[in-house]
Structure 1
């Protein structure tokens, strides 16, 4: 506070010319305004000025689409002025920073007015001339359906929470982690740890003057453990220590790995100087020597930046340099949030900090709104911490976006298949763009950056995943265009595809689908059928397999459906990446990287039988002064005329059968809608230690398509979860199912589906 007062006084005392204005305070209250006006005679040159600012309604649901505004930086102003006849942007200019605000800034902001001042040599204003009056910017109307966007956000959050709840177990077990991605479970202790790891709780407040009794208790436990850890690390890093990582406990191996990575990221260990072929370096990477021994060797090899250690030109022995290096390490560990969180994790998993105390801290720090009954039930032991947490997730008082466990994110894209208008483009989790508009709330912004769920990321346009089996309809069309299959071609699924080595398997192996045609292959998601299609497309004129030939053909047809280019929406978008290797596995969706909006463009073209749009979220612009409207429509990127109606229908029928037959049991989800949906599930494996991505592409009504719905749930375990989510979207869109509750957000988490889809 004292510094702020001195800053204001210094500014007031500085002899600025009258035409140079500065803001002392913003967002002042009525009492302050009255006080300044009453004392205006004594406060010469001080005035209250009303300014405009952006305020966003329903910010949580539209933040990534709308973006936000703020004062231009010098770099931004310079870039915006480049190419203009005269500079019109400066650091006082309010510009769009992200989203539509940025992309359509030239239309939205209008023109600033210009006032010319004549001043005396002493800086006194003599006269004022208005050179130009300000011109209001245009109004921009979006194609986004407000109610649909809001309701879909709640559907998305609800379903992600349901998946998360189904995987949390009251034990230390990680289930099938490392063996089976679908059987991974989440120990409740990971949830307790997430409160600290993802900054749901502010650990710095544990030592604050106004810390609660419980916070002080937790901090005392931490300090005791920290002292033990630091003592042990001193021993491990001592000059003569030969202790290699594998001889340490997992806990201390984690600390040592962190110290090593910290030295590299701080450029104390200069990565560019380290010889990757050096035998001693290799010995360290293979865990044959200790970190202590390696660091001493690094000093000998001049891989350590002595300036970072405060060492100048004075001579120092290697022992002295090493001592200073270790002193640097422990200085960096002091008040190091990452290191502190590592220790808290150990305390939680070793039962030194209880789940009950972690949950009570949520009340102490105001994360949970105080409820006397809930608080007392927890404190008195009438409900255990495990059941308390599950109850709060069910009520969405604790959300997946807060925890950043897997899954914690997702996307929904709904597109009008006949116009290319995007009706909803939902990302989860989100943020309040009002906190970043006009003037950034740095505390809030820092918390967003620290959130491992990355709420600032616009997932529909920027989060890329593999497609999984949602790529199979496109491969069916590619195979027909290349003449390797027809709508009637039957291929015998033999389970193991032995024409390439290593040999991929159908998901049904050691079983098989037998003889199967295109429509059936889509319905049953038969890998073998599409391996064969990819293989046949890879045969050269001599009948020999050429992977590069197959890949080039797959890339050609993916590009026809827009998957080599950005989708056209008017917000920043990641560049799509079609697979460039292994034509056989590429045929079932491996190795691609597409954003949901790009997948939406592809399925929209399948739904309308060949029109690939440059998608749009802008409906029209309206001139503020004249009211003149300029309509905006999606343009056509490509019109695919390669296929007969019979061929399109064969692919669409396969997608229809995915949803409307008992083969995948999805008919039990979709049977009561009152109309038919066609779709394709996709499960994209990440690794055996992370849940697979769940995808579902679809369109409806099947007989006369109106909209496509694309669902992507990163680490969502299974495509059935994405299909269930899409079912709720269709029920809302066509039948207004649960609309009132979804718009209000007044709902509790439903159960995850028990349907299993093999794809």
Structure 2
């Protein structure tokens, strides 16, 4: 029996199904044991870990490339800075308390937060939107309902105060500041894992306090980041531009390149034109983080690629000196006008008020002990309900102050004290005492402040107070200097956009935001006579030895008769002159006759003249963009169509005969009048092409790009647009005339360039825009005469009567470039593109 049982057991054990059964039982036993461990023994810990960790993808920013001048001098760099960051993923039960603590810390340490709330900072509150649609969109984004979209700024503040549960004991201003940060956080509510930069480039005191008391700042931390900086500031602002937070429209354009809502982007200038080159490529890191934001594990990392460096054609030292020369000459003119009585101190003060260089806001906030309170009293007497946010009230306030100055209700001494109180000028106690006791005059103080640039030409808004200059290498098309005045400080707009400063720039009548060499078009005047000469010579209507008798009044083109300038002023003529002499003495009559012949020679027609002339306009590139890499305006070329459009704009009912092109248009066009309109950069291209004998280069601002670790430079090579192949004898005749301008016995600039050690070929021009203001004045020229290297173009709006200001500026720039003033600095070869 036992044996039979034993044999049965052995049989079962040896059966494959039994072995399979045991295997299954064993597996279930292991699984049961593991489940017991997970759920019973360590279940609480594992559950906590699962709830506490989140897989998060973090963007790794790339380092923006630097911008250098042609010799490697830094123009745009990245400097380490401390930013205050708020992590929107961290839940904070006392968010308002933390924000209030942060705002107090920033204010206590003289720092400010990033304030993008579109509501004025002071009461009475007002929206700062530029359009009703923008206001409506913002209100919708902030959760306001349809019936609340008509809320005023104050009503919106009150609504948001309740919505965000801002403590009632806070002042309206403090509540508004807290709402600014709360609204920025609220705007991120649909975006996971985003952070918000609350303050940029804070000082060490803020960093220390936040690090020492980090338990008070839940969800807020300090991050070290590179911030953009422009070492040369105003000298290069129009060229470099600036970077600031990307807007929705830009995000649509750049999102395919990996840009996000929190990125900074180039807005204008080189920063914009070379955005993708400078910005580089972001990296990415996948991490496990806790609910409090702590990184537990780094899963995967893709490194970022830094942006490339950009080298410009500009020489920063020449750029700065050119800017200084321009400003100094504008100051000299202003002082001479004060000395001569052409302008008075009262006129200067009223102009400063008209041009918003006296802050009405500061006047209205002045305490009673300040001199400004006199102005404040006058304003409130006229308008007790004065509102600083109403443009109508502001304009009326300016009118009241101007009347007070003109009627001596405010003395020049009192106004100077107002300038001191507004920190426009500085005065020590001794000087103030001299002013009070009469031993120093207001005139002497103002003259001194103009000399030291505390009162700049821009601030006076008196003619001339603006200008532009271009210096170009005639043998490559490289732009060596490009100066616009007035300018602005792009460090005030970079990284964190300063809206208040930007509003000041927008309201400045001298338009400092305009890049004048590229965007201010004016009639070229007599500077176009070299082109007229080339057109006449090359078309065969004159030759270098052709002489034309100046009769004073040119009658061939019909009424109204054109006159030579010397005849209009003095009743004289230039006599018989050839093309060289005509350029030297700027004889209008010679060029009237030349243009007339181009239209009427060999049985031609009136239109032949302008058609032939415009063929040469195109040869010199005056019909198209100059080629520089940043935004510029296209030139306006005179033509029958241009005349028709101009007249229609004035009189839509004008007849065909009134709009038709006539010989009178052609002859005036030849001396730079008519409908031509060019910027300084257009004229620089024309003069450079002439100077090198007819090779028209595309103008460049960028010399090349280079990655940080690369040895080789990706250079921008000179591009020849056209070889014009002018007859050498024709060029020589024109050059002789231009040399005669600066050194001839009758040259219009012989006194300016007397004893100048380098021969300069030049031509000036004037163009009238208003019969109530001086004409615009131009200088165009190149040097050295025998072997041209650079061309210089200067344009001073409304500067004609200012003692040869444009030629004097050019002369000083020539001296600077050729080292006549001092030794040249050695380039920084390790960064140099050459």
Q: Report the TM-score, using the length of structure 2 for normalisation.
A: 0.70
- The CA distance in 1 between the partners of 2:474 and 2:192, in whole Å, is 60
Q: Distance in 2 between matches of 1:391 and 1:740?
A: 31
2:710 aligned with 1:626: yes
Which aligned pairs between 1:414-429 and structure 2 lie closer than 5 A? Answer: 414-429=471-486
Partner of 2:527: 470
Structure 2 residue 743 is matched with structure 1 residue 682: no
What is the SS of the residue equivalent to 2:773?
coil
1:564 aligns with 2:623: yes
SS at match of 2:487: coil
- Counterpart-to-counterpart distance in 2, 1:542 and 1:163: 51
One of 248, 257, 275 as aligned partner of 1:105: 275
* Cα distance change, pair 438–11 in 1 and its aligned pair in 2 (3 A): closer
Superposed displacement of residue 116, structure 1: 4.4
Shift of residue 728 of structure 1?
Answer: 1.0
- Offset of 1:674 from its aligned partner? 1.8
- CA distance in 2 between counterparts of 1:527 and 1:7 reads 64
Q: Which has the higher contact order (CA 8 A, sep 6+)?
A: 1
Distance in 2 separating the partners of 1:97 and 1:372 = 44
Maintained 8 Å contact 2:585/2:748? no
Contact 2:378 2:400 in 1 (8 A): no
Specify whether residues 456 and 67 from structure 1 end up closer, same or farther in structure 2 by C-alpha distance, changes over 3 A only: same
Note the C-alpha offset of 1:725.
1.3
Q: 3-state DSSP class of the match of 2:416?
A: helix
- Distance in 2 (CA, whole Å) between partners of 1:339 and 1:60 is 32
Q: Structure 1, residues 57-101: CA drift from partner, whole Å, max 9, x if none? A: 1111111111111111011111234xxxx4512221221111111
What residue in structure 2 maps to residue 506 of structure 1?
Answer: 564
CA deviation after TM superposition for structure 1 residue 385, in Å: 2.3
Partner residue of 1:386? 443
Map of 1:358 onto structure 2: 415
3-state secondary structure, aligned to 2:752: helix
Match of 2:401 in 1: 344
The Cα of 1:603 is off from its aligned counterpart by 0.4
Alpha-carbon distance in 2 for matches of 1:380, 1:335: 39
Aligned mate of 1:96, from 266, 276, 283: 266
Out of 535, 538, 541, the residue aligned to residue 596 of structure 2 is 535
Deviations 1:159-197 (A, max 9, x none): 1112222334786xxxxxxxxxxxxx4343221112222
Report what 2:354 is aligned to.
Answer: 197
Mapping of residues 173-184 of structure 1, within 5 Å: none
Q: Is the 8 A contact 1:567 1:614 kept in 2?
A: yes
Is 2:700 aligned against 1:606?
no
Q: 3-state SS of the aligned residue for 1:667?
A: coil
Alignment length (residue pairs): 621
Aligned to 1:51: 225
The CA deviation string for residues 422-466 of structure 1, in whole angstroms up to 9 with x for no partner, is 111111111111000011112211111111111111111111111
Q: 1:295-338 CA deviation, whole Å, 9 max, x = no partner?
A: xxxxxxxxxxxxxxxxxxxxxxxxxxxxxxxxxx9999786212
Instruction: State the alpha-carbon separation in 1 of the partners of residues 818 and 676 from structure 2.
Output: 32
**3-state DSSP class of the match of 2:709?**
coil
Q: Distance in 2 between matches of 1:480 and 1:721?
A: 32
Q: After TM superposition, give the deviation of residue 570 of structure 1 in Å.
A: 1.3
1:595 aligns with 2:674: no
Residue 436 of structure 1 pairs with residue 493 of structure 2:
yes
Counterpart CA distance in 1 for 2:183 and 2:201 is 21
Matched, 1:482 2:656: no
SS at match of 1:53: strand
Call closer, same or farther: CA 1:357–1:330 in 2, change over 3 Å.
closer
Mapped to 1, the partners of 2:238 and 2:396 lie a distance apart of: 32
Residue 632 of structure 2 is matched in structure 1 by 573
- Give the drift of 1:540: 6.9
- In the alignment, structure 1 residue 650 sits paired with structure 2 residue 733: yes
CA deviation after TM superposition for structure 1 residue 22, in Å: 2.1
For 2:250 and 2:183, locate their aligned partners in 1 and report how far apart those are by CA, in whole Å.
29
* Structure 1: segments with no counterpart, 5+ residues: 172-184, 231-328, 742-759
Note the 1:112-511 alignment, pairs <5 A: 112-116=282-286, 129-130=299-300, 132-168=302-338, 185-208=342-365, 210=367, 212-225=369-382, 336-500=393-557, 501-509=559-567, 510-511=571-572
Aligned 8 A contact 1:144 1:422 in 2: yes
**Alignment partners' CA distance in 2, 1:198 and 1:381:** 29
Deviations 1:216-241 (A, max 9, x none): 112213333558xx9xxxxxxxxxxx
Q: CA RMSD in A?
A: 2.9
Q: 1:3 maps to what in 2?
A: 176
**Are the aligned partners of 1:333 and 1:339 in contact in 2 as well (CA < 8 Å)?**
no
CA spacing shift, 1:170–1:603, aligned 2, 3 Å: closer
How has the CA–CA distance of structure 1 residues 364 and 740 changed in structure 2, closer, same or farther, with 3 Å as cutoff?
farther
- Name the stretch that deviates more: 534-543 or 502-511: 534-543
Deviation digits for residues 701-743 of structure 1, max 9, x if unmatched?
Answer: 10111111111111112482211111111111113426899xx
- For 2:613, the equivalent position in structure 1 comes to 554
The two structures have a TM-score, normalised by structure 1, of 0.77
| Alpha-carbon distance change, 355 to 130 in structure 1, aligned in 2, over 3 angstroms | farther
Distance in 2 between residues matched to 1:331 and 1:69, nearest whole Å: 31
Deviates more, 1:3-12 or 1:501-510: 3-12
Distance 1:551 1:11, change over 3 A: closer
Note if contact 1:78-1:89 (Cα within 8 Å) is conserved in structure 2.
no
Task: Name stretches of at least 5 consecutive residues in structure 2 with no aligned partner.
Answer: 1-173, 644-664, 826-834
Contact 1:60 1:431 in 2 (8 A): yes
Deviations for 1:543-580, whole angstroms, at most 9, x for unmatched residues?
Answer: 55x1x332222221111100001111111111101122
Tell me how far apart the structure 1 counterparts of residues 388 and 784 of structure 2 sit (CA, whole Å): 64
